[in-house]
Structure 1
Amino acid sequence: MAALDQKSPNVLLQSLCCRITGKSEAEVAHQFQYAVRVIGSNYAPTIERDEFLVSEKIKKELLKQRREADAALFSELHRKLQTQGVLKHRWSVLYLLLSLCEDPRKPSCRVPGYGALFAQGLPRDAHSTPFYCARPQSLALGYADRSSSMHTSASLGTSGVSSLGTYTLNGPTLTPPCLMSGPQTQAAGDSLRQQLGSRLAWTLPPSASPSATAPTSRGSLGPPGPVARAPHRPRREGDDSAEVGEAALVRDILYVFQGIDGKFIKMCSPENCYKIDAKMPLSKSLRDMSSRLAELGWLHNKVRKYTDSRSLDRAFGLVGQSFCAALHQELKEYYRLLSVLHSQLQVEDDQGVNLGSESSLTLRRLLVWTYDPKVRLKTLAALVDYCQGRKGGELASAVHAYSKTGDPYMRALVQHILGLVSHPILNFLYRWIYDGELEDTYHEFFVASDPTVKTDRLWHDKYSLRKSMIPSFVTMDQARKVLLIGKSINFLHQVCHDRTPPGKLTPASKSTESPKDAELFTDLEGTFQGKIDAAYFETSKYLLDILNKNYLLLEHLQAMRRYLLLGQGDFIRHLMDLLKPELARPATTLYQHNLTGILETAVRATNAQFDSPEILKRLDVRLLEVSPGDTGWDVFSLDYHVDGPIATVFTRECMSCYLRVFNFLWRAKRMEYILTDIWKGQMCNAKLLKAMPELSGVLHQCHILASEMVHFIHQMQYYITFEVLECSWDELWNKVQQAQDLDHIIAAHEVFLDTIISRCLLDNNNRSLLNQLRAIFDQIIEFQNAQDALYRSALEELQLRLQFEEKKQQREAEGEWGVTAAEESEEKKRIQEFQETIPKMRSQLRILTHFYQGIVQQFLVLLMSSSDESLQFLSFRLDFNEHYKARDPRLRVSLGATRGRRSSNV
């Protein structure tokens, strides 16, 4: 049993303490207690990280001593020790080894026999950790900029608001003075300063690090020395003239740090700050330092008030709650610092440290130790101010705006908070682009949904971008792609009734994301852009394939061009021939079933019969609203029925545009048809009416006017067919072939319709031009009626004359007189009456010609004043021989000015 006792850890540790100090077992009782508590310390939540730092410090110490081989051997032995898992508290052992190898010449190690090692004790409550120091296990912390110097592990890191608090809770804490006397008390002060300085150096800028040479105003953590204090009398109850001691102010300051009024320092509500009563007898230096330190409590109150008020507000949303959680986490690290300071103050009180002796807690030291937490709390308070009234993506944008700073420590803090705040947005994003689901109860995501919109308007109206919620680190192009991805998935599910997941983008992929998703938004041009692009191209390509293969989108687009835009020439011509007798009747006498039968006849008789049955069954006849005096030509229109997914491209507005363009083209085609009939009438009747020389002038006038009209209509048809329809269609088809998503097709189609509406003079800007053109069309119809009347009258007269001559010849052949005097007189009278009508016909044609040419002149003037160059060029072709230019001075000026502008541009 004696042998076993000698080998027990406690016996061995006590023997080690005796050997190091050279004292007996009774004399090293305090040092042995401290050693046991160091080795058995079990409240260091970041043990792996601290172990790494201590091992690195040991290697650096060996390298300073030019013992490279020993450093390599130590690294290998440490690596093997980590793999074995024999020791549970490796950090404590490594720290002990580090303390043993410290240079005894250092001020902190001047106690003979390494006694300074045991000049560092733990407070009595070292094993009791405050309840608010427990780390939440749901949110991972840690900064990217520290990854190169800290060991990455599965344990949760710390955001580092209080570097002092984290270190002292993980490592050796402050030593009660009762464990030391004489030089040991001095060594304890050195130990505390070294601990604070070595840890603060990780988070403070070099200029603010307590280990560096700091200005006297902020205190120094260098070699110990007596703290200069102004002589004062101890303050007693009822003694208002006695000066307040620094220790009392320190105690008040620790309360103020928590937002609690102290005995001397209280919150002044009107001024919204902590103040010391001006009547209080206190030196200016202590008053100034207390005011500077009290600012930390004010900042704490500001952040705490925001988190307390918002944490219970459900309408604040998930992003807002994540922001509050991040602030809570930073405050917890701040509370760690306060717990250490309170513990030290309690230890000093328990051990009887009076105001006349050196205390480790002074205002100057507090200024230095709280420098880093103060800067961080200032950043948090500024964030709180800037984020007031914001939620969702707007709140994430506000946090992101503060990450653009040159201070790497503050940037790391804000980026850490941004990672937590962005986490709900990332969840929204993944569910939207992978599943098409949008569960945004508090309207935080930048994609908005309108549940009142019906399925037929899903693509256009149901989903939209909530621009105020687009985070500033997400570009508008990325937001548009995100919107399109989820919208395409929902369109496939609800409109196309296709549940096949496009490509490999399944909902399961969301659960396999790497743990770096919280930092995904920081790599906008890399990982984030890659994920968005991959989902966008996969989903959009699949949707377009479904529309083209299953719903024949491109075939329907071509059918619109062939039938509603009169691209199928043989079908349109034959249909017009078949409809001519019907459409010449009053509109009230038409029946749609008769017109539908004529349409089917035209389809079977032309190349239209070879089109797909899916297209032909959608082609129909439509009668427009009838006005008094309308004929069939005025109310007839072709129609094309669309439904299902293709109705997303061919919307009601688009079909209305097609109907307007068809009516315009149909009327222009009718003018061409009428002029063709006029020309055929002139050619057929020219030889017959040679026997009536008195009509030669009238017929010549008809030929001239008809030629003018034919030229005008041919130029207009060329402009409409080639410059408007063909060019616009070619541009549309190229865009459709290169489209990457359905929005590109819809946008190209709308541009196509807008272009032909504008260039066919159907928009509001060209209303006057359209009215002039319709007046010209009316004149063509008037001319047709006038010429038909002329030919009817002339042919009737010709028929009567031929009958009279035939009767005369028949009688002469029978040996009788050809005509009697009465018959001859009656024939001459009738011929004279007909010849008297010829001047009226000539006058009617002259009026018609003058009116027609006046309208054309006005039309040309309007064309020249148009901002569209194609319309200006059309005026040149319409007046190719400058006939109208010579008749109208206004047109002459306009033409000259326009040509001058064109030549200057060339």
Structure 2
Amino acid sequence: MAMKGQEDPHQLLHRLVVKILQRKEDKVIAEFQHVLRVISSNFSLTVEPDEFQVLEKIKKKLALQGHANDAVRFMQLYRQLQEQAVLANRWAVLYLLFELYQDPRKKRPKVTESRAFFSHGLASHATSTPYVARNTHAGQQPYNTPSSKHYSVSSSGIGTGISSITADSRPSSIPSFAPTPGYNLAERDVQSMGTRLAKIMTSSQPAEHIMHRSLLPSQAQVVDRSVYTIGEDENYLNESSEGAILRELVYIFQGIDGKMIKFDQSEEAYRIDKQIGVARAVRDQVHKQAELGWLHDKIKKYTENRNKDKTFGLVGQSFIAALQEELTEYYRLLSVLQAQLKQEDDEGMQSDPRCSLTLLRLSVWVLDPKQRLKWLAQLVDYCKDKKGGALSSAIHSYAMHGDPDVHGLMQHVLKLAAYPIQHFIDKWIYDGQLEDRCHEFFVAADPTVKDVGLWHERYSLRKSMIPSFLSMEQASKILLIGKSINFIRQVCHDHSVLNGQNKLNKEMLKKDHRSELLFNQDLDGGFQEIINTVYKETSKHLLDIFFSKYKFLDHLKAMRRYLLLGQGDFIKHLMDLLEDDLAKPANVLYLHNVTGVLETAIRGTNAQYDDPGILKRLDVRLLEVSPGDTGWDIFSLDYHVDGPIATVFKSECIIMYLRAFNFLWRAKRMEYILAQVWRGQMTYARMLKAIPEMAPVLHQCHMIAAEMIYFVQQMQYYINFEVLECAWCELWKQVTNAQDLDHIISAHEDFLDTIIKRSLLDPESTRLLTQLRAIFDLIIQYQSAQETMYKKALNELEAQQKMRNLITTRTQEGKWGESEKEEEAEKKRKANFICQVLPGCRAQFRVLSQSYQDMVQKFLVMLTEHNDESLKLLAVRLDFNEIYKAKEPKLRSPMIYHKQRKRVY
């Protein structure tokens, strides 16, 4: 902008305003006054000289007002300006243009609510001189009318940057300044101001540096920490000292807005009003310290909201109490600060500046509280949706901090918050009481479950509520202790006092640091010692009741003897008594008849010497009838359990016992049948010597029977010794050495699982079990075929004996022994027996023998393919002479594989 000789800076500036606003000269008086004050002001720059940012603001302003074409034209002019090397401070020019473009008619805040535009006062010759346009008509009122407002500015203060000169910081009507009496604005003063503006626009130095150098010496040397606010009832600028900021900061620390510092919703922080001219360093310092108020509000809001939540629980309320305790300590510090400020106000000028409270000293005072509140605010954020044990775990995670100050703070909070958990644990492990109305304890109870399912279903663990300072093993033991107490009281109906627990409880109540034992287990094993002692005492008391009062071991032996066929004489006698009844169709078998036979078998064997309470529980159960079933298929023994022992012998366990009994009963029946077959063979072998033609058939029967007997004996040995007896020894060892009822239940379930799995009753062995039952069915067919053969052979033997007796009788009477006709009939009968009956029997036995061998061979192949090593060894034992191995290549592969492995090693 070049200066013309005939035009002074005043006129140039006026023309520039008219050009920009595109109004008449008499319509830009207010804007010109504003520009004149800006140029004549002594200010310190607080806005970053970002040319691009100002450019974007201008473009956005034009676009929002619908002047897109003007925005394009502006960018073209800006590019042309960039090509010119005349202006070095384009940013200052752009910012001035942007400020001039703001609409002065826009609604402004009231004068009483606004802040000072500048921190430094204007020079008297620049601010107090009114301006009247040259073309003002004679009847037009000048701008320095008595109704116009004026400002009285102190000569001291910290300058404000150009950021204070915004549309929101200007009043709705620019007031004129009352002239100082006896002083008129000389033309040279106006020229100096115009020269200063031109220097700003053309100089390569920063604008704020040029303005600072152009100040009067008295203005440039003023240094103070004062701010200026517009008085509510006065028409002049009111100076507020640093003490005013300090007093407001103390209120901000408590979440109370002041006149200068208020909460900004957009930034979610406390900020000094943008309309107040404050040095950037002071503003930044205030904003940093005002963060303390934001932290206080965050914590206080959390405590107030959670106090209204009735489901937050005792742990949450303890946490709130810990936070409020920290806030109370914080309020004590604020009271000290307020007392210090009050004392300084009372002393006034007499106070020692070295001891007075300043922003810098205040930052030192609040440094430690700020750190504490910052950690508490982070903790509040992390614990926002947590309660109970999960809340204590969150606090404990913050307590595992390397900083000793943070660790001490979180330990103190955790100590208060974890106290209800300690209370829950004490009531649970000593009294079995669960006082958890808000579901915040890690032990959960289902009140709808009856006493029968107390141990398995009523109580459980809430894994999400297990505190992190407790291990899963400790939580399980705590659950087990309280569950044992309730089981003793409600199921076993034992209300005796546990002396060991009471003694330990009294000793531990004497310790003041008891709650700290809970979350300081890495340094002190006291809590683990408490849990172990109470656990041993409670479990020992429960097992004593279980073994002595309810005779659990006797019931366990009864299951082994009767349902698992361990009482041999009883099972043999029962089969003898039931043989005729069980051979009938299943639909003609009646329970009361079979029950009577059971009582007879008990009285006729050593079973009669068992405890009457046990024999009373032994009963008969008839299974569901299917078409074609016989009594053997539906008969089963049963054992009734109730009371505490039903906790071990659950309904699922009883079903597993019945499955095992049916399998063992079927295998026992095969042994019983083959024993009868062997006795019949020994008896009929001597009787049928009279029929020499029977020898080959009998030999064939003996061979088949021998194979079947060996197979069944090996299966019985495997089941009775390798499965039942080994599993029973392990069960007995586990039960007698058990530490609690859960160990007994677990050992018993493992025992049944072993029996089910190794007795081919698990899903994996379904094909094996089906094949084995087919072999058992073939044995029954063999028994039937042999009985038919013996019946026919006995008929033939009886016919021959009858004929011999007839011949002997006739001979003794002196008659012929037999007639020709009788002789012919006898020969025909013998021929029919030898040529038709015996070959048919031999063919039938040959088919049975081949079918049996094929089934056994297939069964052996299945055994070798099974994953259980004991079943593979059973296959080796069943094929002891390797006959089946010679026939089936699949049986040779595993053996060759094992031999090759031996050679390698």
Q: Distance in 2 between matches of 1:233 and 1:354?
A: 19
What letter corresponds to residue 474 of structure 2 in structure 1? Answer: Q
* Structure 2 match to 1:384: 380
For residue 619 of structure 2, give the secondary structure of its aligned residue in structure 1.
strand
Q: How does 1:528-539 map to 2 (within 5 A)?
A: 528-539=527-538
One-letter identity of the residue aligned with 2:512? P
Measured in 2, the distance between the counterparts of 1:393 and 1:434 equals 20
CA contact (8 A) 1:761 1:770 kept: yes
Matches of 1:470 and 1:235 in 2, distance apart? 58
- CA separation of 1:355 and 1:516: change in aligned 2, threshold 3 A: closer
Q: What is the CA-CA distance between 1:589 and the residue it aligns to?
A: 2.0
Alignment partner of 1:372 out of 368, 374, 377: 368
Task: Give, in angstroms, the shift of residue 810 of structure 1.
Answer: 2.2
Q: Deviation at 1:588? A: 2.0
Following TM superposition, by how much is the alpha carbon of 1:408 offset from its aligned partner in structure 2, in angstroms?
1.6
* Distance across 1 between alignment mates of 2:576 and 2:566: 17
Look up the SS of the partner of 1:314 in the other structure.
coil
Query: Offset of 1:894 from its aligned partner?
Result: 4.1
Corresponding residue for 2:147? none
The within-5 A match list for 1:242-641 is: 245-278=241-274, 280-353=276-349, 360-506=356-502, 509=505, 512-524=509-521, 526-641=525-640
2:863 alignment counterpart: 863
SS in structure 2 at match of 1:235 = strand
Counterpart contact for 1:243–1:282, Cα < 8 Å: no
Q: CA RMSD in A?
A: 2.4
Q: Following the alignment from structure 2 to structure 1, what is the Cα–Cα distance between the partners of residues 437 and 226? A: 64
Task: Please report the TM-score for the alignment, with normalisation by the length of structure 1.
Answer: 0.72
Asked whether the 8 Å contact 2:229–2:276 carries over to 1, the reply is no
In 2 relative to 1, CA 610–234 (structure 1 residues): closer, same or farther, beyond 3 Å?
closer
- Which letter does structure 1 place at the counterpart of 2:732? W
Structure 2 counterpart of 1:595, one-letter code? V
Match of 1:854 in 2: 854
Normalized against structure 2, the TM-score is what?
0.72
Alpha-carbon distance in 2 for matches of 1:327, 1:374: 14
Per the alignment, in what secondary structure is the counterpart of residue 617 of structure 1?
helix
Q: Contact 1:865 / 1:894 at 8 angstroms: preserved in 2?
A: no
Separation (CA, whole Å) in 2 of partners of 1:826 and 1:240: 157
TM-superposed deviation, 1:361: 1.6
Residue-by-residue CA offset, 1:628-682 (whole Å, 9 max, x unaligned) = 2221111111111111111111111111111111111111011001111111111
Report sequence identity in percent: 57
1:130 corresponds in structure 2 to: none
CA displacement at 1:893 relative to structure 2: 2.4
Give the Cα–Cα distance (whole angstroms) in 2 for the partners of residues 810 and 742 of structure 1.
82
1:654 — aligned with what? 653
Question: Which one-letter code corresponds to 1:521 in the other structure?
Answer: L
Partner residue, 2:888: 888
Q: For the Cα contact (< 8 Å) 2:227–2:276, is it kept in 1? A: no
Match of 1:26 in 2: none
Counterparts in 2 of 1:674-689, with a 5 A limit?
674-689=673-688
Counterpart in the other structure of 2:703: 704
* Other structure's SS at 1:639 match: strand
Structure 2 residue identity aligned to 1:858: K
In structure 1, distance between residues paired with 2:520 and 2:549:
39
Give distance in 2, aligned partners of 1:437 and 1:613: 38
Cα deviations across residues 359-391 of structure 1 (Å, max 9, x unaligned)?
622121111111111111111111111111111
Shift of 1:904: 8.7
Structure 2 residue runs of 5 or longer lacking an equivalent are 1-220
SS of alignment partner, residue 566 of structure 2: coil
Deviation at 1:887? 1.4
Name the stretch that deviates more: 505-514 or 764-773: 505-514
Aligned residue number for residue 224 of structure 2: 231
2:565 partner SS:
coil
Instruction: Name the residue aligned to 1:724.
Output: 723
Pairwise mapping of residues 166-177 of structure 1 onto structure 2 (< 5 A)?
A: none
Report the residue type matching 2:766 in the other structure: R
Q: What amino acid sits opposite 1:285 in the alignment? A: A
* Between 322-331 and 819-828, the greater mean CA deviation after superposition: 819-828
Equivalence for 1:759: 758
State whether residues 735 and 744 of structure 2, in contact with CA within 8 Å, keep that contact through their aligned partners in structure 1: yes
Query: Does structure 2 retain, via aligned residues, the 8 Å contact 1:861–1:894?
Result: no
User: What is the identity, as a one-letter code, of the residue corresponding to 1:712?
Assistant: F
2:782 corresponds to 1:817: no
1:549 Cα deviation from its structure 2 partner: 1.0
Aligned to 2:791: 792
User: Does the 8 Å contact 2:226/2:242 carry over to 1?
Assistant: no
Judge which range, 591-600 or 376-385, deviates more: 591-600
Q: How does 1:189-204 map to 2 (within 5 A)?
A: none
Q: How far, CA to CA, are the matches of 1:278 and 1:695 in structure 2? A: 125
* Partners of 2:230 and 2:237 within 8 A in 1: no
Post-superposition offset of 1:520: 2.5
- Superposed CA deviations along residues 807-857 of structure 1, whole A, max 9, x for unmatched, are 123223322222222212212222222221222222211221222112111
1:690 positional shift: 2.2
Residue 355 of structure 1: how far off its partner (Å): 11
**Amino acid paired to 2:479:** L
| Partner Cα separation in structure 1 for residue 904 and residue 772 of structure 2 | 29
From the superposition, tell whether residues 892 and 474 of structure 1 become closer, same or farther in structure 2 (CA, over 3 Å).
same
Read off the aligned partner of 2:224 and give its amino acid letter: P
Q: Secondary structure at the match of 2:361?
A: helix
**3-state SS, counterpart of residue 880 of structure 2:** coil
Shift in Å, 1:900: 5.3
Going from structure 1 to structure 2, the CA distance change for 1:430 and 1:553 (only over 3 Å counts) comes to same
Indicate the SS of the match to 1:260: coil
Q: How does 1:20-35 map to 2 (within 5 A)?
A: none
SS at match of 2:497: coil
Cα separation, 2, equivalents of 1:627 and 1:677:
27
Task: Give 2:693's aligned residue.
Answer: 694
What residue in structure 1 maps to residue 771 of structure 2? 772
Report if aligned partners of 1:404, 1:411 keep a CA contact under 8 Å in 2. yes
Q: Secondary structure at the match of 1:875?
A: helix
- Partner in structure 1 of residue 829 of structure 2: 830
**In the alignment, residue 596 of structure 1 is paired with which amino acid?**
T
**Number of the residue aligned with 1:54:** none
Q: Aligned partners of 1:241 and 1:885: how far apart in 2?
A: 115
Name whichever of 505-514 and 774-783 sits farther off.
505-514
Report the counterpart of residue 808 of structure 1 in structure 2: 807
Taking a change above 3 Å as real, the CA distance of residues 618 and 900 of structure 1, as seen in their structure-2 partners, is: farther
Correspondence 1:733 to 2:732: yes
CA 1:896–1:369: 2 relative to 1, 3 Å: same
Aligned residues of 2:230 and 2:238 also touching (Cα < 8 A): no
- Which residue number corresponds to residue 841 of structure 1? 841
Contact 2:253 2:290 survives alignment (8 Å): yes
Residues 1:904 and 1:593: Cα distance change in structure 2 (over 3 Å): farther
Contact 1:244-1:281 at 8 Å conserved across structures: no
CA distance 1:263–1:833, shift in 2 (3 Å): same
| Contact in 2 for aligned 1:735/1:748 (Cα 8 Å) | yes
* Mapped partners of 1:496, 1:594: distance in 2: 36
The answer to whether the Cα contact below 8 Å between 1:864 and 1:872 also exists between their aligned partners in 2 is yes
- For 1:516, give the aligned amino acid: H
Q: 2:49 maps to which residue? A: none
SS state at 1:352 partner: helix
